[in-house]
Chain A
Amino acid sequence: MVENVRELLRAHEGLKREVYLDIENSSFVPADVLEAMLPYFNKRAYGNPTLTHKPGWEAYETIMESARKIAGYLGCKSPEEINFTPGETEANNLALLGVALRMRDRGRKIVISEIEPLSIIHVAEMLTKSGFSVVKVPVDNEGFVDLERLRECVDSETILASFSMVNHEIGTVQPIKEIVEIVKDKNPNAIVHTDASDAYGKVPFKPREIGVDMATISSYKILGPRGVGSLYVRDGVNVERILEGQIGTQKLWPGVENTPLIVGFAKASELMFEKFEVNVHHMRGLRDKLIEGIMNTIPDVKLNGPWGDKRAPDNVNLSFLRCEGEALTIELSLNGVYVSSGSACTRRLLQPSHVLIAIGRRFEEAHGSILMKVTRVHTEEDIDYVLEVLPKAVERLRGITGSMVMG
């Protein structure tokens, strides 16, 4: 198997350019972030922040400073509200399981949307085996939560509602403030969580202003390192730990803090927020250039998710009819363009993207979908290169589909 992969890699030799757009699934760490992290591996602050020596105190100071920085960008009351976790998945698990454990005597109902990431949906479904009930609120064909249905779904039994601020696949920016108001109006005791991983650094977002009790953010989606994220928990909200062990500076997550990753997360946040308007304008420009460039040159393409300001500034999700997505990701890879697909073929369960099906896309539209995200470091030239490669790739694969009639 590994030998096969080596052969696949050899097939990529001699690429004239490479453009990585699969930020949804992992990202590279730009030099400015990496440089900030490097001293923390072996020069300073490599100690355990709970211990009584210089490297430990350095680590304590560094972690607190990083939390303070991130708390500032989120408008938190104090850095104590920032709980570092190993990533978005862990933060979402902590939010759902932690509230379920804490509040199981108050009620057993959890309300989410149909288009949440799997680290929400699968955890919620797991809880149904322990006596909880889960309700998935439907969305419209652009991915906006049906607020009337939400109002009907929340009741006195509801302990938790979780709705992503920005959808991870189709970039829909939810009216999260309205969602919070509806939930709290129906049940003031219900905890509201949002996975804000795709909002942080891209869409203005202050949990306290919006009124959410908990919010997940992730490092790699803003070009920080993988392996670190955070769960904002508003002061006064009680969440149980879901893992036990040595508790250090992070009261909700045991184990030794990973100082270099936390530094990288804070640095990546700084680079996004210190030039927020510039970055957002840059990403939106590249996003629109990519979407318009593709839709103007390739026939039979559909945009998935909303258009304009209600779409995250970095998100491009398109369905190419008569062209299967996994084949397209490989064809693009062989030409140095790296993207992912909502096709069943790229998934373990051979089911297409649940998000695309929930917004009413047909199976063949989900199979032909491609997800790309642009960042602050991508350039116009990168997009020009994608626009050069993509039409040829789609044309070749459509040629293989040939004259077959697509139902």
Chain B
Amino acid sequence: MSRIPLPYSQKILELFRNPKNLGRMEDATVSAVAGNPQCGDMITFYLKINDQDVIEKVTFESYGCAANIATSSILTEKAKGLRLEDAWKIGWKSLSDELGGLPAIKFHCGILAVGALRRAIRAYYKMRGQKPSWLPEELTFEEKQALEEEELAKILAKKMRLIGEGGKNV
């Protein structure tokens, strides 16, 4: 049972205890999910976007560790009031910095949160049938990583179940 100490910062602990902008938004313009229960990390962002493409309101729900909850919470605070173009530019490293540094093993939480927000932004433009020039065609690093984490959990689940059939040589 390998365990690691998780030296979470004061900021992460504070947001874990008192997350900001928590909960489902019934009148959201758009929402997006990243991760899944198999990875043990799952985030949903709900965005209310006005006709100037500004995020008026943003909330989240999170299933995951303390770092997952804290990164989702801080991302809602950063994204609120931003134009979508500017919200798109928020990278996972800046989230980590604002949290006083994520432990290395928890970088993926920040990456997943950014991936989820960008999914929501893409979904919004797809819904509107628009394609702003700043929106890259290709998936960005964070979006790819989110996909990879989701796939990896499925592969791992399958692999561990195969071992679970047992009686096999290793």
Q: Which residues of A contact B (CB under 8 A)?
A: 1-2, 4-5, 7-8, 11, 24-25, 114, 117-118, 124-125, 128, 133-139, 146, 149, 152-153, 322, 324, 326-327, 330, 334, 340, 343-354, 357-358, 360, 362-364, 367, 399-404, 406-407
Contact = CB atoms under 8 A, between A and B. Distances in A.
A19 B164 CA distance: 35
A7 B166 contact: no
A118 B22 contact: no
Contact of B37 (A136, A347, A350, A364): A364
Interface of A, secondary structure class, is: mixed
B100 A348 contact: no
Given A8-B13, A347-B2, A352-B40, A324 B33 contact: no
B169 A403 contact: no
A192 to B, nearest CB: 18
B96 to A, nearest CB: 13
Contact of B1 (A8, A118, A134): A118
In this complex, the interface size class of chain B, counting residues with CB under 8 Å from chain A, is 35 or more
Interface in B1-48: 1-10, 13, 16-17, 19, 22-24, 33, 36-42, 44
Contact of A400 (B22, B40, B156): B22
A137 B165 CA distance: 9
Contact of A327 (B16, B166, B169): B16
Given A125-B170, A404-B33, A117 B1 contact: yes
A395 B44 CA distance: 19
A296 to B, nearest CB: 25
Contacts of B6: 326
Given A114-B164, A134-B170, 10 more contacts: A8-B13, A124-B170, A133-B169, A136-B170, A327-B65, A345-B40, A347-B1, A350-B105, A352-B40, A367-B37
Interface string B142-165: 000000000001001100110111
A173 to B, nearest CB: 20
Interface of B, secondary structure class, is: mixed
B81 interface: no
A358 B164 contact: yes
A214 B22 CA distance: 55
B69 interface: yes
A360 B16 CA distance: 31
B44 to A, nearest CB: 6
A11 B166 contact: no
A364 to B, nearest CB: 4
A112 B162 CA distance: 17
Nearest to B108: A350
A348 B1 CA distance: 9
B1 A25 contact: yes
A108 B64 CA distance: 43
Interface string B39-66: 1111010000000000000000111111
B13 A7 contact: yes
B168 interface: yes
A135 B165 CA distance: 12
A400 B61 contact: yes
9 residue pairs, one from A and one from B, having the closest CB atoms: A138-B166, A402-B61, A364-B37, A348-B2, A367-B40, A4-B7, A326-B65, A345-B65, A363-B38
Given A137-B167, A322-B63, A403-B61, A349 B38 contact: no
A348 B38 contact: no
B7 A8 contact: yes
Contacts of A8: 7-8, 13
A24 B1 CA distance: 10
Among A133, A322, A334, A344: residue with most chain B CB under 10 A: A344
